[in-house]
Amino acid sequence: MPRVNSLRKVSKLIKQKKTTLHPNSRRAKRLARATLRQEKITRQKIKHKLKKSNDLMALSFINECINTEQLSSRDTFTVDEIKGLLQTFICRDDDELEQLKKERRHNRPPTKRQELLELKKDAEVKHFETGWKLPDLTDPKNVKFSGVGRETPVD
């Protein structure tokens, strides 16, 4: 019997059999392995999409900042200026977070929105401390990049 890993193929092979499936049989164990593998792949895809969307959100924020009237005439940016842009990105929800803290009564648990914003900010600060993948804005070619093309200039 050929080795099949995908859940779709395993379930198709099992459905072709006319007999019922015994819970301790090799086929049942094979189906369980395929199901667990499918769940693991789905979790990994969701995790990857979330990470990718967070990175793209930071890139789009920096791109919008660079294309403002104040900064559009600049050819390059220093490392400290790039760090400042990232700090601005990280602190974008601070006003809402402070408002939620003020609205909360004394000795009451934080709201779900407040917890979500705090977790998001903590994750972004950790990401900032460990290293954020961004285009090299010290190069004029990358600063003037419009986003058209196959590859984005990320170092």
How many angstroms separate the Cα of 32 from the Cα of each of 13, 24, 154? 14, 11, 41
Residues 4 and 10: beta-carbon distance below 8 Å: yes
Burial class of residue 54 in the structure, from the number of CB atoms within 10 Å of its CB (0-12 exposed, 13-18 middle, 19+ buried): middle
Would you state the pLDDT for residue 90? 95
Q: How far is the C-alpha of 151 from the C-alpha of 141, rounded, in Å?
A: 13
Would you state the pLDDT for residue 152? 53
Q: Flag residues of the chain having pLDDT under 70.
A: 1-2, 4, 146-155
pTM: 0.68
Nearest C-alpha neighbor of 138 from the set 115, 155, 121:
155
Would you state the pLDDT for residue 154? 56
Region label for 149, one of left (φ > 0), alpha (ψ between -120 and 50) or beta (otherwise): left
* Ordered structural domains, the chain, with CATH: 1-55 (no CATH), 74-147 (1.20.1440.170)
Would you state the pLDDT for residue 123? 92
Would you state the pLDDT for residue 16? 78
Angle at the Cα of 119 from the Cα atoms of 43 and 44, rounded to 5 degrees: 10
Would you state the pLDDT for residue 55? 86
Q: How far is the C-alpha of 28 from the C-alpha of 61, rounded, in Å?
A: 50
